[in-house]
Structure formats: C-alpha cells, structure tokens
C-alpha cells in the first residue's frame, strides 16, 4: 500500500508563527463554555424528540426515513459534545462528567466520557505515532484514498446494515492507562442506573417499538456513516510521523451543510490540535486570527465536504507542489 501524499497545506504555520498579540487573543479564548454546551445538547434533544413525535403521528415511511436521518445528525452532535467534555470544555466541577454522560454520552449506547478520554487524549499526545490509537486503528485500506468504488460501497453497506457500530465502539475504548485519569469520573453505577431506568420507562409506556425505530435504527445505520465522514474529514491517515498541518485538511462548510449536518466546527480540526483548550464555538475566531496573520493559503482551503472528497478520490496521488502553485486554484470553486 502506497503512503498517501501530504496534504497541500492550507496553513502556512502553526501557533509558533503567530505574533504576541495573536497569541494573547487566542489565550483569552481558552476555557469551558457550559452554556453553549448545554444549549447544543438541549437543541439536539428537542430536535430528536420533535422528530420522533412528528414521525410517529404522521406514520409515513418517507417521513420516518427523514426522521431517522435527522435524528442521526443530532446523535453526531451528542458525540461532538462528548469530545468537548473530554477536553473539559463543557461542564466543569465535580459533577461535570456525570451530567455530560447522562445527557450526551450514555444515550449513544456504549459511550462514556471516561473511556473516550483515554483514546482521544492519547491521540493528541502521541499524534501519528505507534502510540496513537486513532492512527493505528485507521492504518489500512479502509482509510486509504483514492479508494475503489467497490470498496467504498462495501464500507457504506457495512455502515448502513449496522456492522460498523460495534467497530466504532471498540475503537473508542483503550487499554487501561494512568496517563489520562479523570479528576471526577462518573461512578459506574450511574451508567447501569441510566439504562435500567430507560428500559423501565420504555416498558411502562409500551414504546419499545418507537425506541427501536427512531433510536436504535439511526444509531446503527446513518450515525456510523456520519462518523465516517467526520473521521475522513478530520485527518488523512496512513502517514506515520506526519505533522498536524500535513495531515489535517481545512474545510469550511457551506451554509446548507451547516444546516443539514452541523459539526460544531470540527472541520477546523488543525486549530483544535493547536489549541485543545479552545471550545468549538471559538474555532472560527482562531481561523480569523490566522488569516489576519497571513498564515492561510486560500488556494488549499476546501469549501464544502464535496470539494474535499473529490480531492481524495481524484487528486491525492498527483504530485503536491509548493503552497499556492499546484495549479488547482481554490478548492471547491
């Protein structure tokens, strides 16, 4: 398997290239944003409950399909909020992890803040080395582009029939380590109590059929597809020792992508690695600062997921020249 080309760099430098003024500005963006965190969680729950109620009332196959897709996009919001909490950017204090587990992690049926923290923080600390669990898990043909249409179709089929969900959960666990212990982890009994109470309520209300249709089905089918898109857009893998800039695209969502598939600025992912203490809502401000500091090569910025996916499937094997001279113009144009 050939090693993929390094990305044509959208970023012309990292935080070490910033002026003192810019560093101070970004430093002031650090810290948890609990109200924004709770607001996102509340809106995601409202959308899920609203779609379940509407689809159940209408009893239409088409509306049920739309509901399943929309609900899966809100599950993705849950997952992204888990990511925020892992970096202590959501809820702080003794009960922060417990509340986050209850409202965004446990609903994903198998995810916990504590377990995901071990994987994700290892990824940050050991980026693209043999100690990076994400890098090891995604080193293979399933994450190598360009990819044959047949292989891509097999991966998508694996997602929509539910086979990828268990792999996804296993990939978010990590061997026991003392490196990333949570200061106030949720007690184990809380997780069991959550599922026990949920099962009791579903049994009492006779709504197991609704739960399976509008919770289990989107979680096992559409949600893994969205997670795959997010992972592909996060980094190019199979590049041991690559830097964040070399392996992380800068993708700016189009307005309709933000509406249909909100991602909490996850496609500004290089900035997240530079500044893991900056919450999702402030990453566009970091981008603006980098632009002002003339550290952005606009010709290598991808505008929309489709522009990036087209690049992966058709352009990645072409030689990458110096920034701004590759002859491709602005991505997504």
Distances, alpha carbon 9 to alpha carbons 244, 326, 331, in Å: 10, 11, 12
How far apart (Å, rounded) are the C-alpha atoms in residues 54 and 262?
21
User: Which pLDDT does position 276 carry in this prediction?
Assistant: 97
pLDDT in tens, the chain (333 residues): 556 667 888 999 999 999 999 999 999 999 999 999 999 999 999 999 999 999 999 999 999 999 999 999 999 999 999 999 999 999 999 999 999 999 999 999 989 999 999 889 999 999 999 999 888 888 888 888 889 999 999 999 988 888 777 776 665 555 545 677 899 999 999 999 999 999 999 999 999 999 999 999 999 999 999 999 999 999 998 888 899 999 999 999 999 999 999 999 999 999 999 999 999 999 999 999 999 999 999 999 999 999 999 999 885 544 333 333 333 334 443
Domain boundary among 219, 242, 265: 242
Same domain, 275 and 300: yes
Q: Which residues of 149-159 are buried (b: 16+ CB within 10 A; e: fewer)?
A: eeeeeebeebb
Domain coverage including residue 289:
1-30+243-333
Same domain, 107 and 174: yes
Neighbours of 19 (CB within 10 A): 11
Same domain, 44 and 8: no
How far apart (Å, rounded) are the C-alpha atoms in residues 245 and 7?
8
Same domain, 115 and 95: yes
Same domain, 123 and 111: yes
The secondary structure of 25-38 as a DSSP string is: HHHTTBS--HHHHH
- CA nearest to 87, candidates 276, 272, 234: 276
Domain boundary among 242, 269, 292: 242
Q: How many domains does the chain have?
A: 2
Q: Which residue carries 């701004």 as its tokens?
A: 324
User: Which pLDDT does position 173 carry in this prediction?
Assistant: 57
Same domain, 193 and 251: no
296 SS3 class = strand
Same domain, 63 and 170: yes
Domain boundary among 192, 221, 242: 242
Same domain, 270 and 225: no
Same domain, 182 and 316: no
Same domain, 3 and 125: no
251 SS3 class = strand
Same domain, 228 and 267: no
Please report, in angstroms and rounded to a whole number, the separation of the first and last CA atoms in the chain.
Answer: 31
Rounded (5°) CA angle 298-231-267: 30
The secondary structure of 56-87 as a DSSP string is: HHH--HHHHHHHHHHHHHHHHHHHHHHHHHHT
Same domain, 14 and 48: no
């Amino acid at each position: 398997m050939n090693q993929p080309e390094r990305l044509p760099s959208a970023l012309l430098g990292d935080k070490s290239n910033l002026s003192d003024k810019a560093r101070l500005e970004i430093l002031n963006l650090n810290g948890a944003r609990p109200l924004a965190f709770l607001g996102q969680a509340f809106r995601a729950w409202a959308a899920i409950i609203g779609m379940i109620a509407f689809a159940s009332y209408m009893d239409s196959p088409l509306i049920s399909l739309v509901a399943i897709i929309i609900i899966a996009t809100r599950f993705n919001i849950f997952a992204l909020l888990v990511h925020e909490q892992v970096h202590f950017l959501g809820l702080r204090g003794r009960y922060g992890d417990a509340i986050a587990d209850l409202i965004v992690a446990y609903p994903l049926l198998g995810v916990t803040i504590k377990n995901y923290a071990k994987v994700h923080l290892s990824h940050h600390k050991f980026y693209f080395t043999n100690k990076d669990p994400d890098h090891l898990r995604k080193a293979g043909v399933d994450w190598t582009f360009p990819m044959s249409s047949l292989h891509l179709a097999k991966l998508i089929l694996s997602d929509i029939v539910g086979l990828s969900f268990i792999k996804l959960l296993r990939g978010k666990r990590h061997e026991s380590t003392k490196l990333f212990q949570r200061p106030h982890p949720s007690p184990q009994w809380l997780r069991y109590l959550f599922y026990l109470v949920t099962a009791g309520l579903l049994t009492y209300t006779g709504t197991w059929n609704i739960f399976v249709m509008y919770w289990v089905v989107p979680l096992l089918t559409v949600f893994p597809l969205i997670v795959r898109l997010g992972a592909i857009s996060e980094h190019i893998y199979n590049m041991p020792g690559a830097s964040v800039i070399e392996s992380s695209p800068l993708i700016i969502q189009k307005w309709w992508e933000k509406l249909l598939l909100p991602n909490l600025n996850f496609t500004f992912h290089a900035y997240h690695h530079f500044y893991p203490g900056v919450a999702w809502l402030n990453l566009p401000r970091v981008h603006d600062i980098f632009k002002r500091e003339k550290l952005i090569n606009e010709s290598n910025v991808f505008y929309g997921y489709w522009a990036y996916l087209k690049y992966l499937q058709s352009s990645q094997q072409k030689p990458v020249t110096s920034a701004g001279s590759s002859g491709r113009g602005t991505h997504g144009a």
